[in-house]
Amino acid sequence: MRIDRRGIIVGAAAVAASGCVPLNTAPDGRLEAKLRLIEVAAGGRLGVAFVDPVQRLTLGYRAGERFPMASTFKASLAALLLAKADDVDADRVMRWTEADLQSYAPFAKERLATGATLRELAQAAVEASDNTAANLLLARLGGPAALTAFWRAFGDDVSRLDDIEPQLNFVPQGDPRNTTTPAAMAGTIGRLLGESVLPVPSRASLRKWLAGATTGLTKVRAGVPSTWEAGDKTGNSGNWPGMGYARGDIGYVVGPASEPIAFAVYHQSPVDAPIAAAKVDEAFAEVGRTLTTWVRRNYTIVLT
């Protein structure tokens, strides 16, 4: 018996033609309803998108609504560095001073005396969510506008970065600055890990950094089987007056016989009423379990 990616079910005719048996024939509507229940249990507003960029399958809930990106932009920032690696000399050592250090900068503080290469800064921005590393990269690569232009160049017409850390985390209600939608960001992750944007070595680096990130182990990845490959980049706005506390988790999973499946999950608490982090983490883990169901449902077991 083998699991075959070519046996993906796209309708009853495919079942009849292939002779394959779907793992789960529940319609997407049930999974969307499950996401709604997760939102109700957590409180606040939840947005979710799953994207299989190869098979062009998607599932979403509030997938077209804008949410603050917070640190989830750092995955794309690292990709921009990889895309421009030759132009900017990604292995060139950068140095910084104490004045550059943000409050959350574990890597930058450790390497203050020696500096680090641009490539190392990109890795630290993803794996450790180092805010100073992100700001240094933005300064070297052309600022927030350059990252927004990068998104536009490969078809993300929604995501936008307007500020650096920490200002980018403050997003007043209804302000489109420093926001994205789950659908846009899941699509972006799918493209960055696919064949159209980055060369193979750069894709491998980005995938490795996402898999090595430690900030999301209690979020979506907590609901995904430990035998699956997974990687992510989290975001956390902090508690700003007049704004709903925002959290995010974007990344990919590789289930049985699948290419990377991209996901983007965002949550925002009511204004000035932050929901406990543990409660949001559990909601994200439940989304991970729903993602697992969706991936398994879209693959078949082929008897040989």
CA distance 60 to 98: 43
Torsion sign (Cα): 72, 74, 77, 82: negative
Q: At 67, phi and psi to the nearest 5?
A: -135, 150
What's the domain count of the chain? Answer: 1
From 180, 215, 217, select the one nearest 106 (Cα to Cα).
Answer: 215
What pLDDT score does 77 carry? Answer: 99
pLDDT at site 27: 56
pLDDT of the residue at 258? 77
pLDDT of 158-189, one tens digit each? 999 999 999 999 999 999 999 999 999 999 99
pLDDT given for residue 3 in this prediction = 37
Sheet containing 300-302, strands listed edge to edge, beginning at the edge strand earlier in sequence: 2-4, 300-302, 21-22
Say which residues have a Cβ less than 8 Å from residue 304's Cβ, sequence separation at least 6.
1, 2
41, 126, 39, 70: which is closest to 239 by C-alpha? 70
Instruction: Give me the amino acid identity at 142.
Output: G
| Catalytic site positions | 71, 165
Residues of the chain under the 70 pLDDT cut: 1-27, 300-304
pLDDT of residue 127: 98
pLDDT value, residue 7: 36
Residue 293 near residue 33 (C-beta atoms within 8 A): no
Q: Which residues contact 10 (CB under 8 A, 6 or more apart)?
A: 55
Per-residue pLDDT at 54: 81
Residues 44, 169: Cα–Cα separation, whole Å: 18
CATH of the domain at 256: 3.40.710.10
Query: According to the model, what pLDDT value does residue 224 have?
Result: 98
CB 83 within 8 A of CB 191: no
Burial of 111 (0-12, 13-18, 19+ CB in 10 A): buried
Tell me which residue range forms the domain holding 224.
Answer: 2-302
CA distance 291 to 169: 27
Any long-range contacts for 85-88 (C-beta under 8 Å, 24+ apart)? 85/119, 85/202, 88/118, 88/140, 88/141
The CA distance from 275 to 71, in Å, is 19
pLDDT of residue 48: 99
Which pTM does this prediction carry? 0.90
What is the tens place of the pLDDT at every residue in 120-161?
Answer: 999 999 999 999 999 999 999 999 999 999 999 999 999 999
Cα–Cα dist 130/77, whole Å: 12
In this predicted structure, what is the pLDDT of residue 18?
Answer: 28
